[in-house]
Structure 1
């Protein structure tokens, strides 16, 4: 079971996320909550936390400050940020400090679940990698070889250093057993494994918009793919992994032509056209730039467009039961954050806006003398005339009938 800490300064949001994750039983997570960054640190000091789901902007200790503490003291912990539209540039800097992923608050519950699944997968991969390295040590080193490793830290530098030590150990075995071909195969396998780890990092950089880091790491991987010493099967393994990263991103951006090109080049390489490696490497680089551009465009959606869309929906459906879940679903928002997003963008509460529209509609319909109060109630979203009368009097200080008499009398005079 994995341990997940929810951090948000708004209890209603933290509680909503807790309820969502409790329903996702397949995640198999034990949940903790904190309503501030400092309280989150208290939990982290007392419990081994695997994943932190954290609002990036909070009073006191902000999410980015909490991340710095976590990276320093609990480097294996995965930190997922929740961010609004106007936090986007801020979250970029947070991701560069080691954040695992971010989720826009306009995204739905499924995105939250998928991101947590992704974090769990990453933890599993890292655990498996540590086990693999430990097993390699046990197999390659004699009992008195002098190298003991109870816990291998996982990360690009740590893995690189570990592989260097493995190569030394392999070299020792070469001298002892005089089996150079077998040992060379082992070195290549270790190098290929490290390249697959790079591909996973490329996927993370692509998802989180870390373009500069992506370009640098891709250059290293491309050199491996073009290297004469790299075996064809190891190249194909990396190509399979790269396709798994690129294809869903290209599809999500609607880049069908690029997908077709990728499939064509892949078939050529499978058929043994070695010259296609240079071509596909160039395509991967160009496609990545296109994906990054697509993601930037999606992140720069104008919040006012979302508000205009929801206002139009409310006005058109004012006779319906306008629940928070219904409204959030109309604009593909997470219901847990929709009310907060609306208040931050407009400065007003969503329920206040709905009440104003219902009140204006009621006044308009009360100008029609033949229209019954019950009918007006239904046209403004109330199934009970008494509930409508209470609402109208609260808004205007007089009953609907009094309002009608005054206005009809005024129009005659």
Structure 2
């Protein structure tokens, strides 16, 4: 049970006292009623976007929540800080000057020998003294370019003036799209490329349940200490393998200003994606939440291709499928079945023998009973094109039904 601004018991005691004037009793009753409307309880949030925020926060990566005004970005951060038991410092970036983040020069007794210190603001000092906390930078898309430039060092290097923020300080920002922000600016690409970008939208069911007195809380992912080193090794192997296959995604800055203000792939964001993937493996996190966080780091295109690549890496070995096409265990999802068959046809193309070619047809004959024919059509036609003139069409083609009519056989 949470009560944010007014102690109900204190109000009850005051109202029961007989020494108050009628006007004062009415104001206390009003305060009591307001406090009651703010009483709520929480339950663990199961939404994938909420879990993606928790994953990125646990990984101590700067997060940027994009959403329309009034959908609860600020209240989400209050709930996040409370759930993590972290002190919260809220800074409205749009009303600050660059010097509020870069620091104000303070001349000491001997500036020639000691230099001039850049004094940090009070909120940075409080976070430094606490040793941990949650820094919430609100309305950063309404901050002018000079302020955004000053924020670069805060977000990346964790320095405010001459003061270094402790490693235990998490950074989360919020922004409204340029079209709905007050005097909004597009986010500068160097600043945008330092965040995990998450779209924050309202869920009517969550809002209704919250207004009824129960709001979701943001549970941190539970890391398995026995899996930490293996998770990092697995994440490194996955990212490196993907970028070896798709080197064009190593750095790809978008061409439009709006796209550059969001998530896009660069060596910096791939390092962030690696950390997110390692945390996902170590916590056995929900795959959708991991995908949302990674797409918020390297962009939709690279993120979706990475997740599809990881799906394919977990598919059966094509050589094992060709060795026992009638017995090997196959995935159930249609897209993974298609990926498995494509990998098998590619394996046959690399080493085309009649035995391997016929084994692939055995697999297709098995799949035609369980999956839609459109998932099999393209791989089957590629396999048919691999036929050598001396190879007879497989004897069991009569069982392929509508697929048989699509196939074109060479001489």
Q: TM-score, normalised by structure 1?
A: 0.30
Q: Which has the higher strand share?
A: 2
**Larger RCO: 1 or 2 (CA < 8 Å, sep 6+):** 2
